[in-house]
Amino acid sequence: MLTLDPGTPAEDLTTALWAGLLADDRPHFDAILAEALAPQREYLSDTEQALYRQGKRLRPAVLLLAARMVLGPAPLPRKVLQGAVSLEMLHVATLIHDDIIDGSALRRGLPSVNAARGTETAVLVGDLQFVQAIRGFVRTVDRDRDMALIELVLDTAFQIGCGELDELRTDLNQEPARLIEHYWRTADRKTAVLFGLAAEAGVTLAGGRDADARRAGFAGRRLGRALQVMDDLFDLARDQAESGKPRGMDLLRRRATLPLVYAMEELGPDHRVSRVMRGEPLDAGELERCVTQVRATTGFSRAYADARAQALEAIELLRPFPASHYRYALEDLALYIVDRKP
């Protein structure tokens, strides 16, 4: 299955894909992205530019690989590359809005847009990315069938907004089983739908069959689920030097992530971690101790097992596609997501 040189570090897989299988697509992607950013150039600072420069472009890579499962190594139609650019812009819009909601001062180790420019400007800049993303997807329409893709894009944007609201309105006094159900619904809406859109749009824009596009979309959503759980684990395991943000922010903000919900279930309602999650004040100096207690529970490994199960489901959903380096790369990507050390 391996599509990279054996010596390639796992953490560099996405970068290697752009330098390898997607190398011919990269200059075209960059050119279309520059075109999309040009109309708003006067409103963008180095902070926003950094979001585009430093991003791993994981979602557009998924779209392009899905398209190439249909088209093979032939030059891609412009509309496929336009879709990949629009997807990246939609993702950047969600990052900006996420940081506003979370009050995050850092993004990838640099000041977030809201920290650098203020909340009001950040909201407007995020909205610009969103609108420009939708405009880009509209430009991909050159046949009646593509109109269904626009509906999917708008539905995805709606689901992302619902997921953000769902996360904010989580009732942490619910039973663990209800919290786990709520978590998966929120993860599907916040994260998984964008990966589902990436894979489904790639097959659709490449002219693939509707059934194949839907199957790819299901695989993409499994990738997104796995990525969300792993991000939740990294929040508890990685320090600021590795993740670009302080450790344990989900606990501090009382976010009902899967490892935290599992830990609450195991530790019981009277444990300090459970009481903090339900609103009891937490001293900054106590945060690290609570994080250590969460990591000592079986909830941490249970959440990891769930992430890996999602990745393996994604691989199974990809199996019916013809064997190719592009399908293998998506399978490698699924494993890469869960093989990174928490």
More confident residue, 335 or 53: 335
Is the residue at 195 inside a domain? yes
Q: Is the pLDDT of residue 115 over 50?
A: yes
Report the pLDDT value the prediction gives residue 3, as an integer from 0 to 100. Answer: 47
| Total number of domains in the chain | 1
- Residue 342 pLDDT grade (very low, low, confident, very high; cuts 50, 70, 90): low
Is the residue at 69 inside a domain? yes
Is the residue at 196 inside a domain? yes
Q: How far is CA 191 from CA 95, 164, 220, in A?
A: 11, 10, 10
The pTM assigned to this predicted structure is 0.92
For the stretch 271-283, pLDDT in tens is 999 999 999 998 8
Is the residue at 2 inside a domain? no
Is the residue at 265 inside a domain? yes
Report the pLDDT value the prediction gives residue 283, as an integer from 0 to 100. Answer: 82
Is the residue at 166 inside a domain? yes
For the stretch 187-221, pLDDT in tens is 999 999 999 999 999 999 999 999 999 999 999 99
Report the chain's mean pLDDT, rounded to a whole number.
Answer: 89
Tell me what percent of the residues of the chain surpass a pLDDT of 90: 63
Is the residue at 169 inside a domain? yes
Residues spanned by the domain of 243 = 10-339
Mean pLDDT across 145-171 = 87
Mean pLDDT across 297-320 = 97
What CATH number does the domain containing 204 carry? 1.10.600.10
